[in-house]
Amino acid sequence: MISIIDCGMGNLGSVKNMLKHIGVQSEIISTSLEVEQAEKIILPGVGNWDNGVKKLNESGLLDALNKRVLIDKVPVLGICLGMQLLLESSEEGSLPGIGWISGKVKRFEFSPSQQAQNKLRIPHMGWNIVNAKKSTELTGFDGDETRFYFVHSYHAVVDNPQDVLMTCHYGYEFACAIHHENIWGVQFHPEKSHKFGMALMKKFAEL
């Protein structure tokens, strides 16, 4: 059973529907008691950094999440803003993140010539190829080039290179997935990424 955190900052239905499609049981949860009983946790999120931090703090779930993730070592997967919130800070806002992984979130920065030559736009939107930087339970996809669907203007910069799980190229190489022990995060949207998203979610469910 996968527990999807509801604190008002993500499209929970899409995540739940994909899990149902691949035969994985899930539930949407919003109380500390439910977090304390969770076996695997997904933290989805879309929108602004400070708003996401506020919603997470106001939910009253943070203490329970810290215990389950940091002490009990329950697997957790952050998606999009949910991944960014795993880090310590963001250029998008002033409030501190959860800080489970050491690093910060930075806005894409392109020179005028880069933008003109490569037609780069912010946000980075659409399908793009990702490359695994280390071998884990969530990497290793069979067949074609691995592609995921992105919609974001900011990206993760982790302090420890060992915490980079996957990278993507958009103007320059950036970390599009991060990992430290039982903590996972993806900038892309697996719930919108068809067979690759289904494969990744299945791998997470099997942890």
Distance CA 3, CA 35 (A): 8
**Residue 176 annotated as catalytic:** no
**Residue 189 annotated as catalytic:** yes
Q: Which residues lie closer than 8 Å to 39 by C-beta, 6 or more apart? A: 1, 2, 3, 74
CA distances to 175, 179, 197 from 141, rounded to whole Å, are 18, 17, 10
Q: Which of 91, 173, 189, 194 is catalytic?
A: 189
- Whether the upstream peptide bond of residue 75 has omega within 30° of 0, thus cis, is no
Q: Which of 176, 181, 191, 194 is catalytic?
A: 191
Q: Which of 27, 34, 80, 155 is catalytic?
A: 80
**Residue 194 annotated as catalytic:** no
Give yes or no for a contact between 184 and 174, defined as CB atoms under 8 angstroms apart. Answer: no
Distance CA 102, CA 174 (A): 16
Residues with catalytic roles:
80, 189, 191
